[in-house]
Chains A and B, each alone.
Chain A
Amino acid sequence: NAGVTQTPKFRILKIGQSMTLQCTQDMNHNYMYWYRQDPGMGLKLIYYSVGAGITDKGEVPNGYNVSRSTTEDFPLRLELAAPSQTSVYFCASSYGTGGGVMQPQHFGDGTRLSIL
């Protein structure tokens, strides 16, 4: 099983460029998440989705956009890259219900992004 797959693993961008971080999962999970991890700090939620066609902002959404057209894919878009967006980005997925049923999150291997 592939689990959660993120591409690319590494990327260097110039200020002002745009790019899309790809995330796909093959576990038929309804919930998907994007996090960023900065040195010495806990992971912060950027955006999340509870199902295809439904997305919502997390703690740190500014400068990012997402879409969820299928259950499997949850791409993260940076429109105008800024040095503050240099970070490691993790995508995760899980199964859950609105009634409180929840399972652990499965994480991708991360994308290390540098904005210069």
Chain B
Amino acid sequence: KNEVEQSPQNLTAQEGEFITINCSYSVGISALHWLQQHPGGGIVSLFMLSSGKKKHGRLIATINIQEKHSSLHITASHPRDSAVYICAVSQETSGSRLTFGEGTQLTVNP
């Protein structure tokens, strides 16, 4: 079993829908990261959080430390949101090194 599990693996939505991607982890962490990988391959950090909730535009990330679970929400989805979304954790014992989930492929159709 991977230390970081994401669901679903693939997600197709219609433009305007509310989207949720889930991430569960089985290790102690100092921070959880959400990353976006564009169709061209580039990777961008969206959020780094260790508690509570963060919001940036239409994206919201939440984390529940007790349940070892995080969610990434996209409101009013748009075709330009189509990308792979990756959850990663900084483990308590490994400093800044990240352990990655396998990613969620999101496709938003117009």
Residues of A within 8 A of B (CB): 31, 33, 40-45, 48, 50, 58, 88, 90, 92, 94, 96, 98, 100, 102-107, 109-110, 112
A42-B44 contact given A102-B30, A105-B98, CB 8 Å threshold: no
Asked whether, in the complex, the Cβ of A107 is within 8 Å of the Cβ of B98, the reply is: no
Choose from A58, A103, A109, A110 the contact partner of B97 (Cβ within 8 Å): A58
CB contact under 8 A between A109 and B30, given known A42-B86, A96-B96: no
B13 interface hit (Cβ, 8 Å): no
Among B42, B96, B97, the residue within 8 A (CB) of A107 is B42
Distance of A41 Cα from B86 Cα, bound (Å): 11
The dominant DSSP class at the B interface is strand
| CB atoms of A42 and B97 under 8 A apart | no
A25 to B19 Cα, complex, angstroms? 34
Chain A contact surface mostly = strand
Interface residues of B in 1-56 (CB under 8 A from A): 2, 4, 30-31, 33, 40-45, 48
Interface string of B57-87 (1 = CB under 8 A from A): 0000000000000000000000000000010
Interface band, chain B: 20 to 34
Known: A33-B97, A33-B98, A45-B97. 19 other contacts (CB 8 A): A41-B102, A42-B88, A42-B99, A43-B98, A44-B100, A50-B95, A50-B96, A94-B96, A96-B95, A102-B95, A104-B45, A106-B45, A107-B42, A107-B43, A107-B44, A107-B45, A109-B40, A109-B41, A112-B41
Q: Find chain B residues with CB under 8 A from A104 CB.
A: 33, 45, 48
**Pair B30/A100 contact, Cβ less than 8 Å:** yes
Minimum C-beta distance from A109 to chain B (A):
5
Shortest Cβ gap from A73 to chain B (Å) = 19
CB A94 to nearest CB in B, in angstroms, measures: 6
Closest to A43 in B: B100
List chain B residues, Cβ under 8 A from A40: 102
Q: Are A42 and B41 in contact (CB under 8 A)?
A: no
For the complex, what is the distance from the CA of A48 to the CA of B96, rounded to whole Å? 10
Q: A residues within 8 A CB of B41? A: 88, 109-110, 112
Q: Are B96 and A43 in contact (CB under 8 A)?
A: no
